[in-house]
A = this chain, B = another copy of it.
Amino acid sequence: MVQIPKTPASSSPAPRSVPTSADVARLAGVSRATVSYVLNNTSTVRISEPTRRRVREAAEELGYVPHAAARTLRAGHSRLVLMPAPAFPVGPLYTRFIGELQGALGRLDYTVVQFGTVGLHGDDAARAWAELRPVAVLVAGHELGTRGVAVLRRSGARAIVTFGTEAVDGTHALLLDHTAVGRSAGRHLYDVGRRRIGVVVPEESGLESFSQPRLHGVRDALADTDATVTALPLAYEEESAARLAARWRGLGLDAVFAYNDEYAMLLMRALQDEGVSIPEDTAMIGADDLMLGRLLRPRLSTVHLEVPSGRDLAELVDRVVRAPGRAPEQHEILGAAVIHRDST
């Protein structure tokens, strides 16, 4: 790591103690109850305008900030919507989705928080989340067992929304059926006349839940045809791609679905370095519709994923929180559309 010289700067100000609503009440000359009424705009009770002003001014002057833990304790539940922080680099798609979700839920007065999950797994993770008594949890289905769901439910979570390839019992499930991605890719390659089709399967761990369904989707799409499907393990490194490219002609493939655009770029480079021409010798399609696909030559065909907007999910969460008795729903939310460019 980079050197860290130590440079003392200005000294910190005297850390006065944290003002509470009692302090505000004292300064405003009212009771704590009144402070609470005013600051929460409680409508069931009428407070005179001068009193309101005095309270607000006192709060302002003291720099009063309500104590979320106290409120949570009293209320029995927080306004926290918990989701795990992603453990891998996320693309613009996901970032935008999260941003929308947070914005929308924020407007509905929830607090969205991404929980650091490194080192915690299964039921331990569920317990750690439950300690915060979140009102809702959004989580990948495979991170949550039946026990985890029970723990969260019992700890007061009103909405548990899972996403992944299969529904988790007792939760609202958003099904991301990646076989659809593979099916689209497979069908497209078949339609452009290819019959010996390779499918890149990343060797990086953590990607299996995407890569396997994508592979199976291709198999699915080509099951009743004369086409063959070959799985091609590939690590996200130049050497791995070079090795695969070196034995490419021996494989006798005329098309490849490269898992996604990034793996496609890696493999395209290696193949071109080997003198394999795309799309003439081998057609190639990626997935995710990243900018970089448009910057490759030939321009990369890709499978564009359609996911719901963060706003839609926010609405679902709010609906479930407010009607917690509702039976869990399952939503198929992953759409796939081929974007045909020059590489196929």
Contacts and interface: CB of A to CB of B under 8 A. Distances in A.
A89 interface: yes
Given A95-B88, A113-B115, A292-B292, A328 B2 contact: no
Q: Which of A10, A89, A103 has the most CB of B within 10 A?
A: A89
Interface in A191-240: 236, 238
Interface string A1-25: 1111111111111011011000000
Given A1-B306, A130-B65, A13 B153 contact: yes
Given A131-B65, A155-B65, A89 B87 contact: no
Contacts of A330: 7, 9
A85 B114 CA distance: 7
A116 B86 CA distance: 14
A298 to B, nearest CB: 12
A111 B72 CA distance: 18
A295 B267 CA distance: 9
B63 A69 contact: no
Contact of A327 (B8, B19, B67, B89): B8
Q: Which of A90, A154, A327, A329 has the most CB of B within 10 A?
A: A154
Contact of A73 (B73, B95, B169): B73
Q: Which of A8, A10, A116, A130 has the most CB of B within 10 A?
A: A116
B95 A332 contact: no
A27 interface: no
A106 B118 CA distance: 8
Nearest to A335: B2
Contacts of A169: 9-10
Interface string A146-178: 000011011110000000000101100100000
B69 A133 contact: yes
A113 B111 contact: no
A265 to B, nearest CB: 6
Contacts of A332: 2-5
Contacts of A312: 1, 4
A39 interface: no
8 contacts: A1-B308, A2-B333, A4-B312, A65-B154, A89-B91, A98-B116, A99-B118, A113-B114
The 6 closest A-B pairs by CB, nearest first: A102-B116, A112-B116, A69-B72, A114-B114, A2-B335, A69-B69
Given A2-B334, A65-B131, A114-B115, 14 more contacts: A2-B306, A4-B308, A4-B331, A7-B329, A8-B327, A9-B173, A9-B327, A10-B328, A13-B153, A13-B170, A69-B73, A107-B119, A265-B295, A269-B295
